[in-house]
Amino acid sequence: MIDRRSFITGLSAGGAFAAGARDAPRKRFAEERVERITAPPKPALAINHLGFTPPGRKSVVFRLTGGMPAEFTFRDIGSSPKPPELTRRFTRFTSDLGDCLVGDLSDIVRPGMYQVEAGGERSVPFFIGEDVWRRTLVKAVSYIHAQRCGTAVPNVHPVCHLDDARRRDNGGHVDTTGGWHDAGDLRKWMSATVLNGIALMGLLRNLGDDWDAAGSGAKALLDEARWGNTYFLKMQDGDGLVWDDVAGGVNGDNSDNHWTDNRTGTGDDRYINTNKSGSVQALFTLFEAMMATAFRAADPAYSERCLRAAVRCWDAATRSGGTGEVSWWALAAMELGRATGAAGYRDHALKFGSLILSAQNTAFTFGQKFVRGWFRVSSNSPDPYADVVHGALPVITLLLLAQAYPDAAQAGQWGDAVKLHLDGYVLPMAARSPYGIVPFGIFHGTPSAELYRPLAGELTYRFFMPVQRGDWWIGSTSHLESYALAGILAASEFGNSAYRDLAMRQLEWVMGANPFGACLMTGEGMRNPYPHSRFVGLIPGGIMNGIAGNANDEPILDIENGFDWRTTEYWTPHNAYYILAVSALHRRA
Ligand SMILES: [Zn+2]
């Protein structure tokens, strides 16, 4: 099993041109097996299983795997008497993900339950309605609750890990109980689980008390975030810096991934990884500052405690790194400025914003004039930034800076950089398939022995992570959802509906508009794969790593109950970006 800490925090560090990338690792049987699970001929119809809000683009994709229907029918299946069905013509779409037909339903805005039929197939029934996305937030948040550690979660697991944990370096016990299990296992990575807290704070900020129609209110979000924070605060060392994980595995392995006897000092106690990674410091500072703001009225003493923790970490950290890490520090500075009212943090936020700008490739390079505006892994590296978890982080950061500091001298540059990234890179790349997904990344040539699709000049690209380049790869869910968040923020900032449509296509792929016709959130939609979740099984609202690619960059997904973690494991960042994107979609004016 891989080391999820380095997975999430170090993804952009290697870069597309890393030396030695041609040495493919030896593959295990399970890995080879899932690489063969490409999309079956049926369902050929792909439409997202939740449905659509009344405004915006609505499309259906039919893969040409056999027959070639010229038209599709569309009917209201919820009304009585039933209105007459509509028949429409498809448009042919030749693409790098295979030839397809595309049908458009954008003009249908009447709320109701509908179904599409084409080529003898019926789609999953879906809604048109204002709340089709919003109402899934409760399930996505309940997933976080189900992952609580250090307590019993009724119908999920009995009380657990009251004996967390002992230090890896000197064996001393430190009370680090609490927090949330990450993913389909029992480990507590800071780099991943702090994202739960950030998502809860973002949801609270976007929708407030009304986030849940059942009325659980802001208190439910504050309580959940505070539960996670009991653990996060315990992870702060005396020097102000924060440890990386509890139970991550002593040698990057699964040795700590087990239930324990809840008694301190016995042989099954798990370990604290006392390493202090840079991006973990930034995430911690960001989250604690958000907590300080959120709790200021409800619990001033607790708010002050969170703020002190944030400032101590900020002061102790070196606050440098590549484009990804600098983005987190920009957001941390912004939130510290908001929480303290101190002007100095704004200057830091602007400085980090300038570093992000300097890492953007504004010119056409590599002998092509097709794409520009993509980010590099750092301002002094030629390598494109590609991160399967935080793919859109730099552009999200620029958008949030522009929201926070509209009067800053750099605000115009941030806006220009966002538009150049979306118009000059993301939209042309997303147009290369009928599903509208943002490919994983661009590359210079062929860095490893597998298919890199020709793009233009010396540039190639892949829809999915390379599987031969490093020693791990996973599905694209977080990458796509992060671009959903970026698109929604950009649509709001610039009033451009094309950015909203881009955003929705990313979410729609995750919720069923993909070549497998599979919804990747447990408890929503149909044809959900069985998740890699080996301690508690199904968790409603959990979102899987999702569709990856094989050496030929064909979409693959374990729909054969193979327990494949690369495509079907739940991971915290997927729920975090989903909650942030969907709540931003419905954000109060
Ligand atoms: Zn636990």
**188 alpha carbon – ligand 1 mean position (Å):** 8
What pLDDT shows up at residue 7? 45
SS3 127: strand
Instruction: Specify the amino acid at residue 3.
Output: D
**198 alpha carbon – ligand 1 mean position (Å):** 21
CB 547 within 8 A of CB 557: yes
CB 137 within 8 A of CB 583: yes
**186 alpha carbon – ligand 1 mean position (Å):** 6
**69 alpha carbon – ligand 1 mean position (Å):** 52
| Pick from 363, 387, 367, 365: nearest CA to 377 | 387
The C-alpha atoms of residue 86 and residue 116 are separated, in whole angstroms, by 10
* Helix (DSSP H) and strand (DSSP E) numbers for the chain: 16, 19
**160 alpha carbon – ligand 1 mean position (Å):** 4
Strands 459-462 and 453-456: antiparallel
> In this structure, what DSSP letter does residue 209 have?
G
**239 alpha carbon – ligand 1 mean position (Å):** 27
**579 alpha carbon – ligand 1 mean position (Å):** 23
**174 alpha carbon – ligand 1 mean position (Å):** 15
**163 alpha carbon – ligand 1 mean position (Å):** 9
| Pick from 396, 372, 395: nearest CA to 384 | 372
**254 alpha carbon – ligand 1 mean position (Å):** 15
**181 alpha carbon – ligand 1 mean position (Å):** 6
What pLDDT shows up at residue 24? 42
**268 alpha carbon – ligand 1 mean position (Å):** 13
53 exposure class (CB count in 10 Å sphere: 0-12, 13-18, 19+): buried
> In this structure, what DSSP letter does residue 242 have?
B
What pLDDT shows up at residue 26? 54
**259 alpha carbon – ligand 1 mean position (Å):** 7
**159 alpha carbon – ligand 1 mean position (Å):** 7
**226 alpha carbon – ligand 1 mean position (Å):** 16
**518 alpha carbon – ligand 1 mean position (Å):** 30
The answer to whether the Cα torsion of 332, 338, 344, 350 is positive or negative is positive
**276 alpha carbon – ligand 1 mean position (Å):** 22
**393 alpha carbon – ligand 1 mean position (Å):** 30
**219 alpha carbon – ligand 1 mean position (Å):** 23
| Pick from 8, 101, 105, 94: nearest CA to 52 | 105
Q: Where are the beta strands (DSSP E) in 77-214?
A: 86-89, 91-93, 100-104, 112-118, 121-122, 126-128, 166-167, 188-189
**56 alpha carbon – ligand 1 mean position (Å):** 42
What pLDDT shows up at residue 253? 84
**149 alpha carbon – ligand 1 mean position (Å):** 4
**547 alpha carbon – ligand 1 mean position (Å):** 28
> Per residue of the chain (589 residues), what is the pLDDT tens digit?
344 544 444 433 333 233 333 334 456 677 789 999 999 999 999 999 999 999 989 999 999 988 889 999 999 999 999 889 999 999 999 999 999 999 999 999 999 999 999 999 999 999 999 999 999 999 999 999 999 999 999 999 999 999 999 999 999 999 999 999 999 999 999 999 999 999 999 999 999 999 999 999 999 999 999 999 999 999 999 999 999 999 998 877 889 999 999 999 999 999 999 999 999 999 999 999 999 999 999 999 999 999 999 999 999 999 999 999 999 999 999 999 999 999 999 999 999 999 999 999 999 999 999 999 999 999 999 999 999 999 999 999 999 999 999 999 999 999 999 999 999 999 999 999 999 999 999 999 999 999 999 999 999 999 999 999 988 999 999 999 999 999 999 999 999 999 999 999 999 999 999 999 999 999 999 999 999 999 999 999 999 999 999 999 999 999 999 999 999 999 999 999 999 999 999 997 6
SS3 128: strand
**296 alpha carbon – ligand 1 mean position (Å):** 30
The C-alpha atoms of residue 253 and residue 185 are separated, in whole angstroms, by 12
**459 alpha carbon – ligand 1 mean position (Å):** 45
**150 alpha carbon – ligand 1 mean position (Å):** 5
Tell me the CB-side half-sphere exposure of residue 135, using CA atoms within 13 A.
14
CA-angle at 404, arms to 399 and 406, nearest 5°: 85
The C-alpha atoms of residue 560 and residue 346 are separated, in whole angstroms, by 51
**461 alpha carbon – ligand 1 mean position (Å):** 40
Structure-token match 């990674």, residue found: 277
**252 alpha carbon – ligand 1 mean position (Å):** 19
Structure-token match 């959990």, residue found: 542
| Pick from 505, 540, 531, 562: nearest CA to 60 | 505
**40 alpha carbon – ligand 1 mean position (Å):** 38
CB 285 within 8 A of CB 314: yes
**243 alpha carbon – ligand 1 mean position (Å):** 18
Q: What's the whole-model pTM score?
A: 0.95
SS3 140: helix
CA-angle at 465, arms to 515 and 379, nearest 5°: 135
**299 alpha carbon – ligand 1 mean position (Å):** 27
What pLDDT shows up at residue 27? 60
> In this structure, what DSSP letter does residue 264 have?
T
**144 alpha carbon – ligand 1 mean position (Å):** 13
**284 alpha carbon – ligand 1 mean position (Å):** 21
Strand partners, 62: 45, 101
**148 alpha carbon – ligand 1 mean position (Å):** 7
CB 546 within 8 A of CB 560: no
Contacts 24+ apart (CB under 8 A), 394-397: 394/323, 394/324, 394/327, 394/356, 394/359, 394/360, 394/421, 395/421, 395/422, 395/486, 395/490, 396/327, 396/482, 396/485, 396/486, 396/489, 397/327, 397/330, 397/331, 397/353, 397/356
Task: Identify the helix (H) or strand (E) that includes residue 442.
Answer: strand 441-444
**189 alpha carbon – ligand 1 mean position (Å):** 12
| Pick from 460, 478, 553: nearest CA to 16 | 460
**339 alpha carbon – ligand 1 mean position (Å):** 31
Strands 51-52 and 126-128: parallel
The C-alpha atoms of residue 510 and residue 476 are separated, in whole angstroms, by 9
**223 alpha carbon – ligand 1 mean position (Å):** 18
**161 alpha carbon – ligand 1 mean position (Å):** 5
The C-alpha atoms of residue 531 and residue 61 are separated, in whole angstroms, by 26
